[in-house]
Structure 1
């Protein structure tokens, strides 16, 4: 009997569902009839898709609403099945642009405004402007009813986005990056780099990749790992890599200090407990440890330590994060040794949500200098 391999299913990014809903809303507004599906080109890639419309209705004579539901494919994505509301209304007289796109409830914001990025804006403007007369103007509001709640379970704050989720992405296809099948692609890239370089830099995400460059890391030595740190550390050991510099957001890398080597929030989470353990190692008093343990996020716990340090200059952040970085280095080295019987030097650099470096372990400092 032969077994058939199952390929991971790709899905679509949030901007695609926002655009589908906006198309359906505009159709409802103009023709007073519902669209069962919205058919349109993703632009990137050049591919036409049909997105189901769950519900649509006129809200008034000047506004309509359509609801779609996110489908990211075989990703461990917390936005799976979340509703996406797209409201289209005729513009006020003083509106100058033909299409005013804005974020409503559940769409986060950053220093430059609503967290609706270039691809989402291009997709919506392209397809809605084609359906409007030159004299018609509309306001498009995208709402994620569950966005504010879901954002608390993400590292969005590390990207400067608060109070909601982003309409993020440079294309319409959501590749299954967190599905097990995607690990094959990461391992392939690692083998290619390990064939050329003995010393590599593992970056969990785009922020790490960018910060590594700013700290003088050779671009070709960087490898994006996403949440697959454990298997990639082992693979690096098997390939004979000499050293690995870990570059990542502290809310992710802290898990390694507790021996958790798959960092996706669906897999495991003990971040406050790990940070409290680091506080104990740093000999902080019990009341501070209790505050850290009771904090809602590790970012909040870091802020507690910073505020206390501001008052009495006790350097708690430095002491705690030195312990954390040392634990990350030690645990990672031991993890590789256990699974490969090889010794790889591992150093770690942790940054906060403002992309400021919190700590460089001693080994990290050595690796950066060499």
Structure 2
């Protein structure tokens, strides 16, 4: 549960929807008084969203602007402007038979693994369609273009590129409510969940984010043993020690888990990085050539570093990817075990599983393999 002192906000699709409603209403000469009502769908709730600006661009087009408010989150989209351009056309003139055509403008990411489609996902499309359709006559169609002016710049501070989204941010989410998952008091809720599950199981799994949850289940891991941790690895490792777990599996994207190999136990990018430096250090440790290390250090992301290693292995028949990542995984295990023992004087066996952007497993540590095979699967 979330503390009453935490303020929930709304996800980006909600603000895009509010801007779209405001722009359409302006075209229709309706007075919105700088606020619009949005049906969130999930949850079933109608909320009022402030409109910062709205203006007519042409006879049948208007632009409206809202500002993102994610609540008490360490969210980089806080206060970012969300522009939506709405163009009203007769249905016979529309480029599509659909009454509502949604497009991604500047700052909306592009899915390089999905034919270059804009990164506007199911919930965003659904909330836009449901809220806008009631304002349209059967003969009317609209083209809705979503623009995030700061999207390209903000995207550089996310792991979007690691998951195949470039040139901007994703309009994603499964709900309209942005829960304060990164607010300090959310840690208490995670600790309470861990404590409850430790009474049922002596071996649990930490998943760092949504991308790992589905993959963990596909690997046969019992969902009842999974704890979603967000970036709170350090405090939750200590809680695992306090609860005297026998073993713990860390299951996550390599661009996050690699930080633990460098002794960084809070993985939010606001607080610490060093991922490429850790990758290069382990390359040096196992004897990777200096020219390759120089290339690794110049990589823009750990995902690009992984690709460089894999390309090298394919071209030369080497095995640097396996060697380097096995060294990283073993170090994650060791440093995590030491961290728990230092703070609780309890020995917990820690294993790790690291996966890549394509959601395939890169490496499992020795302890990770043992825990996976003997303790946590259904």
Which position in structure 2 is the counterpart of 1:249?
A: 253
Which position in structure 1 is the counterpart of 2:197?
A: 193
Contact preservation (8 Å) 1:53, 1:68: yes
Which position in structure 2 is the counterpart of 1:288?
A: 292
Pick aligned residue for 1:20 from 14, 18, 33: 18
Contact preservation (8 Å) 1:67, 1:85: yes
- Runs (4 or more) in structure 1 with deviation over 3 Å come to 32-35, 91-94, 157-160
Structure 1 CA distance for aligned equivalents of residues 186 and 94 of structure 2: 50
Secondary structure at the aligned position of 2:140 is classed as coil
Structure 2 CA distance for aligned equivalents of residues 67 and 200 of structure 1: 45
Which position in structure 2 is the counterpart of 1:273?
A: 277
Displacement of 1:35: 4.3
Kindly report which structure 2 residues correspond to 1:223-234, keeping only aligned pairs within 5 A, or say none: 223-234=227-238
Gaps of 5+ in 2: none
Which position in structure 2 is the counterpart of 1:97?
A: 98
Which position in structure 1 is the counterpart of 2:54?
A: 56
Secondary structure at the aligned position of 1:180 is classed as coil
Secondary structure at the aligned position of 1:213 is classed as helix
Task: Pick closer, same or farther for the CA change 1:202–1:93 going to 2, 3 Å.
Answer: closer
Q: What are the superposed Cα offsets for residues 294-350 of structure 1, whole Å, 9 maximum, x if unpaired? A: 221111111221222222111111111011101100100000000000000001110
Contact preservation (8 Å) 2:14, 2:38: no
Displacement of 1:80: 0.9
Pick aligned residue for 2:265 from 261, 264, 273: 261
Q: TM-score, normalised by structure 1?
A: 0.95
Structure 1 CA distance for aligned equivalents of residues 266 and 201 of structure 2: 25
Q: What are the superposed Cα offsets for residues 28-66 of structure 1, whole Å, 9 maximum, x if unpaired? A: 212186741112332222333221111111111121111
| Residue 368 in structure 1 maps to residue 372 in structure 2 | yes
Q: TM-score, normalised by structure 2?
A: 0.93
Which position in structure 2 is the counterpart of 1:10?
A: 8
Structure 1 CA distance for aligned equivalents of residues 84 and 14 of structure 2: 11
Kindly report which structure 2 residues correspond to 1:1-370, keeping only aligned pairs within 5 A, or say none: 7-31=5-29, 35-91=33-89, 92-110=93-111, 111=114, 113-370=117-374
Contact preservation (8 Å) 1:83, 1:144: yes
